[in-house]
Structure 1
Amino acid sequence: MTPHALPMIPLRLTIPFVFMCLNGIATAQAPQVVTLQSREVDLSYPAESVVEAVRQATVAAQVSGRIVDVRTDAGRRVKAGEVLLRIDAREAAEGVAGAQAQLAQAKANFDRTRNLFERKFISGAALDKAAADLKSARAAAGQAGAGLSHATATAPLSGIVAQRHVELGEMAAPGKPLVTVFDPKGLRVIASVPQYKLAGLRGASRAKVEFPETGKWIDAARVEVLPTLDANTHTVTARVYLPDDASGVVPGMAARVHFVIGRALKLTVPPQAVVRRGEVSAVYVLDASGAPRLRQVRLGEAVAGGELEVMAGLSAGDKVSLEPVKSGIAVRQAAAK
């Protein structure tokens, strides 16, 4: 269907203030132009989402003590097993020494008890108790040694330090977060989709992820819809995985997922060609002589790929300027002559 043309906007009411300030500046080159054509585009359902890391871990303290050595900070790349920080382990070391002493005493007592049992001076119950005491002392010594090793916090995976939760000299306690590390090669966006959209979403195997602030679009590597809904919000969680080479994306970023649910023939215009003044949208269209003319248009939602659907004001074959600033300056200069 060919969109109906909308009335031309009076030029003197729509020339931006910046064009007045730039009056008299000559443009060395003509603005870039695109010829509009109807094309088959993806139909999509947009949903707000948040970026998260697939592999992320928070290292927590397992022993109490003061932090005496910090070797990392937010933004730093680390390797799995690399030391991140150390906790004062003197108390734990004393515990290890005490456990080892008790183990030595229990072993000596067991040897004496066994010797007496072999000579028939004591009963088997006494030997069993000595053996149990030896096993208990060995377990206590092993536990103390493990606690001493927990004084050194290491990276659980290779990646980037997202946040360091403690500073040098602070007290650590069991369970207190120390450092959060994530793998930048495994990112995904999490979106909540209402129940009434679930039927169409189940068949969506492709998606595009938009980052509105930067204008970046990324093709998703995989779409995963969880099998259950939230009983309170009646929404289903969709996980959209990004490719490993997605640059400039970090956990916590806001994004918009466009789930591809079909294809249709539409007339679209690049977003950089659009001039917006409040609720009015317009583009510079070149006339038969090649001169730019500002024309009001009615636009729909962005299709998967970033271009805007044209509802009215433009037709296939129209030549639209991709550099409205240059076109506006040219119009202003022509009006001043």
Structure 2
Amino acid sequence: MKFRLVLFLLVAAFAGCTNTKIEKKEIIRKVKVAAVETGEPILKSEFSGIIREDRENNLAFRVAGPVKAIYAKEGSFVKKGDLIAEIDPRDYQVQVDVARAQYEQVKSETGRVSEMYNRKSIAGIDYDKAVSGEKMVAAQLQHAENQLRDTKLFAPFSGYVQHINFEKGEMINAGMTFATLISLNTYKIEVDIPALLFVRRNDFTAFTCQNNESGDEELPLILTSFTMKADNNQLYKLYLNLDPQLNKKLAPGMNVKVVIYYKNQAEQSFSIPVEALFYKDGNTYVWIFNPESSVVNKRRVEPEALTGNGNIRITTGLTGNEKVVVAGVNVLKENQKVVLLETAGKTNIGGLL
């Protein structure tokens, strides 16, 4: 009897266990949120640029010979027309003397032939030969004189001597670069921009640049030109001018931060931290935090371009009064309950306490 009672109690207990549902504990994740910011009528994008000299020329002699003298030094300023260097002119002076003697002789002979032709003492063909001969030796004299003048190298414009590649007494051939001259009347700044911004070039309103030497001061730039064909990285190059007098500490070769300002084409746009975006099935989404229910909901958005302060511009999908999740976006689920992370205090650096 006791055995049957015990068996009955065991069966009842087992049946009760099988009908009991095991409830799973809901996971509540901690998230960090940020408010959606309203877009501005004038947008800006920042890029890295480099300062270039206004003009750079490689100076070369048009004749060959040993360097006789160098009148400029590397780093020195020269004015347009200043003598930079010269080649030993002795051989070229001899050529001029020979060519001049030949010219004087032929010229005298042509004068005698001309008198005979006027008296009809010689045929016209003989006269034509004499005149042609005079023109030929005149051209040879001109060529010799040009070569003599080319033994001197003058500055084609005012600027600074960047490099001198030869020393006094060294032999130099025609066309070899003797020195490099740069002009600093205007600084040129080159910057590469993506195609997404290049197609909006008609909306550009202003350009500025900053450098560690200029601090927070934004120096104005003037757009001069741009390339109409992208490079292999799908980037277009912009060329801008900077007045060197605005900051005399700047120099060619320095890196600068270039800021491009342009009109906002959207009727209304917003910006959010780029960390708020996540991607699924080829679309871009954000998690919208509902403060009343403390749950998150997925919403599709259309991003446009970075704003330069860690945010990205959103053209569609937001109304402006939302809060989006910016940390832990890849582990959340639709309608999941969350709790906000507390803001770190001054004595709780990093929110570790």
TM-score (norm 2): 0.59
1:77 matched to which residue of 2?
77
- Rate the CA distance shift 1:257–1:41 in 2: closer, same or farther, 3 A: farther
CA separation of 1:200 and 1:172: change in aligned 2, threshold 3 A: same
| Alignment partners' CA distance in 1, 2:106 and 2:203 | 67
Unaligned runs of 5+ in 1: 6-37, 267-300, 313-320, 322-337
Q: Deviations over 1:297-326 (max 9, x none)?
A: xxxx995xxxx66999xxxxxxxx9xxxxx
Match of residue 172 from structure 2:
172
The secondary structure found in structure 2 opposite 1:181 is: strand
Question: Which residue is 1:238 aligned to?
Answer: 238
Say yes or no: does 1:220 pair with 2:206. Answer: no
Residue 253 (str. 1) matches residue 254 (str. 2): yes
* Alignment match, 1:45: 45
> Residue in 2 aligned with 1:206?
206
C-alpha distance in 1, partners of 2:251/2:162? 9
Q: How far apart are the structure 2 equivalents of 1:240 and 1:170? A: 40
Query: How many angstroms apart in 2 are the aligned matches of 1:76 and 1:302?
Result: 43
Decide whether the 8 Å contact of 1:47 with 1:192 is kept in 2.
yes
What is the deviation of 1:92?
1.2
Report which structure shows greater RCO (CA 8 Å, sep ≥6).
1
Matched residue of 1:138: which SS? Answer: helix
Identity percentage over the alignment?
Answer: 22
Equivalent residue for 2:96? 96
Aligned-pair CA distance for 1:103: 0.8
**Distance (whole Å) between structure 2 residues aligned to residue 211 and residue 80 of structure 1:** 31
Q: 1:129 to 1:107 in 2, by over 3 A?
A: same
Contact 2:44/2:307 (8 A) holds in 1:
no
Contact 1:54-1:186 at 8 Å conserved across structures: yes
Aligned mates of 2:194, 2:126 — CA distance in 1: 70
Gaps of 5+ in 2: 1-31, 272-305, 313-325, 327-345, 347-353
* Aligned position for 1:58: 58
Matches of 2:192 and 2:126, distance apart in 1: 66
Structure 1 residues 131 and 189, CA, compared in 2 at 3 Å: closer, same or farther?
Answer: same
**Shift in alpha-carbon separation, 1:216–1:182, aligned structure 2, 3 A:** farther
Mapped contact 2:84–2:153 kept (Cα < 8 A): yes
Structure 1 counterpart SS, 2:59: strand
Partner Cα distance (2:48, 2:201) in 1: 15
Q: Which amino acid aligns with 2:256?
A: A
1:162 counterpart = 2:182 = no
What is the CA-CA distance between 1:171 and the residue it aligns to? 1.7
Cα separation, partners in 2 of 1:122 and 1:163, compared to 1, 3 Å: same
User: Paired residue for 2:329?
Assistant: none
Report the CA distance shift for 1:232/1:104 in structure 2 as closer, same or farther (over 3 A).
farther
Compute the TM-score of the two structures, normalised by the length of structure 1. 0.62
How far apart in 2 are the matches of 1:67 and 1:309?
A: 58
Q: CA deviation at 1:227?
A: 5.6
CA distance in 2 between counterparts of 1:140 and 1:122 reads 27
For the 8 Å contact 1:211–1:254, the answer to whether it is kept is yes
> 1 CA distance for matches of 2:229 and 2:123?
65
Whole-Å separation in 2 of the counterparts to 1:170 and 1:109: 43
Counterparts of 1:89 and 1:253, CA distance in 2 = 42
Structure 1 distance, partners of 2:216, 2:141, is 57
CA–CA separation in structure 1 for the residues paired with 2:186 and 2:270? 35
Question: What's 1:292 paired with?
Answer: none
Q: How many angstroms does 1:63 deviate by?
A: 0.8
Per-residue deviation, residues 74-133 of structure 1 (Å, max 9, x unmatched): 211111111111111112111111111121121012012112223333211111111111
Opposite residue 194 of structure 1, the aligned amino acid is: P
* Shift, 1:187, TM fit: 0.9
CA distance in 2, matches of 1:230, 1:125: 64
SS at match of 1:229: coil
